[in-house]
Amino acid sequence: MASAAKRLEAVYGTATPQIAFDGVTLVLGGKTIIENLSLGVQPGEFLCIVGASGCGKTTALRLAAGLYQPTSGKVNFDGQPMREPRREIAIVFQDYGKALLPWRTAAGNVSLALEAGGMPSAERPARIEELLRTVGLPGHAGKYPSEMSGGMQQRLQIARCLAQEPKTLLMDEPFGALDAMTRQGLQDEVLSLVAASGATVIFVTHDLDEAIYLGDRVIGLLPHPGRIGIELSVNLPRPRDQLSTREHPEFLRLRRQLFDFIKATEQ
């Protein structure tokens, strides 16, 4: 475990990572899902996690959220052990349809986070309007989730997460169920939202291109049990651009490297 801390120090100097996994092992139902995972995420970093289906990406994210407690090892947030979920850490779930309250309108769903944060009701409408505008849903405040498209529902979930004013944003394949065009639009929106708020992001995806396009760093997990198999720094200029970034030689090199890694794990 000390070695992990040393490695982090070597990479980042002595800065405290915002989220630190220190030799984390998680056993669920007698099965080791994650084994000896050490990982530090710096404040403001955009970390992407990729890996074959069932390798433990979601589980790692749930550990970072405090929804699971490690069987052994530690998960720290800002240097403090994480005992339970906290408002500074927001999660965007893949299944937006289940994560929204169907009986509340778009405004009501955003309001839920503001209520939980103790914002006085007089201040909420203005803030709700602002957040819905930020995610590109102005004028949809009165709609129920069921009256919105998948892309709009996912935007709404992101708005609710932003309402938490999170220091860390955890996203579990947030665009997995959306079509390619909607997906690219949302990728750029997330990048600009994150740039504006300075939040730290852990982003899980199946899509290797998406991981490289978004991330400062990409981690590939190996399955059974889940552990780190590859770690790539993405030195692509920001702001990223859907056309030029994806044609960048560095992008193509990383893509090849990641692709070979995933192919090897699937055999």
Partner 1 sequence: MNRAAIIWRVASFAVAAGFVAIWQLIANLKLVSPVFLPGPDRAWAALMRGFSSGDLWSKLAGTLEHMAYGWLAASIAGIAIGAIIGSSSRMRTYVAPSLEFLRPLPVSAIIPVAIAMLGLTQAMALFVIAFGAIWPIMLATIHGFAAVEPRLYEVARSLQMSRLAVIFKIALPSASPDILAGMRLSLTVALILSVVCEILAGLDGLGHWVLLSARAFRSADLFAGVILLGLTGYVTSVAMSLAEHRLLAWQAAQR
197: left (phi over 0), alpha (psi -120 to 50) or beta: alpha
- Our CB check for ligand ATP shows the closer of 94 and 245 to be 94
Q: Does 58 bind Mg ion (CB under 5 A)?
A: yes
Kindly state the number of chain residues that form the binding site for ligand ATP, as judged by CB under 6 A. 12
**For residues 146-205, which are near partner 1 according to CB under 8 A?**
146-147, 164
Q: Does 144 bind partner 1 (CB under 8 A)?
A: yes
Where in 93-226 does DSSP place strands (E)? 168-172, 200-204, 217-222
251: left (phi over 0), alpha (psi -120 to 50) or beta: alpha
Among 5, 25, 32, 86, binds partner 1 (CB under 8 A): 86
- Our CB check for ligand ATP shows the closer of 18 and 205 to be 205
Where in the chain does DSSP place strands (E)? 19-28, 31-41, 46-51, 72-77, 80-81, 89-92, 168-172, 200-204, 217-222, 227-233
Q: Does 99 bind partner 1 (CB under 8 A)?
A: yes
Q: How many residues does the chain have?
A: 267
Where in 29-128 does DSSP place strands (E)? 31-41, 46-51, 72-77, 80-81, 89-92
Selection from Mg ion, partner 1, ligand ATP, none that 138 binds (CB < 5 to 8 A by kind) is none
- Contact pattern from residue 23 through residue 62 relative to ligand ATP, giving x for each residue in contact according to CB under 6 A and a dash for the rest: -----xx-x-x-----------------x-xxxxxxx---
Q: Does 140 bind partner 1 (CB under 8 A)?
A: no
Residues in contact with partner 1 by the rule CB under 8 A: 65-67, 84-87, 89-91, 93, 95, 98-99, 101-104, 112-113, 115-117, 144, 146-147, 164
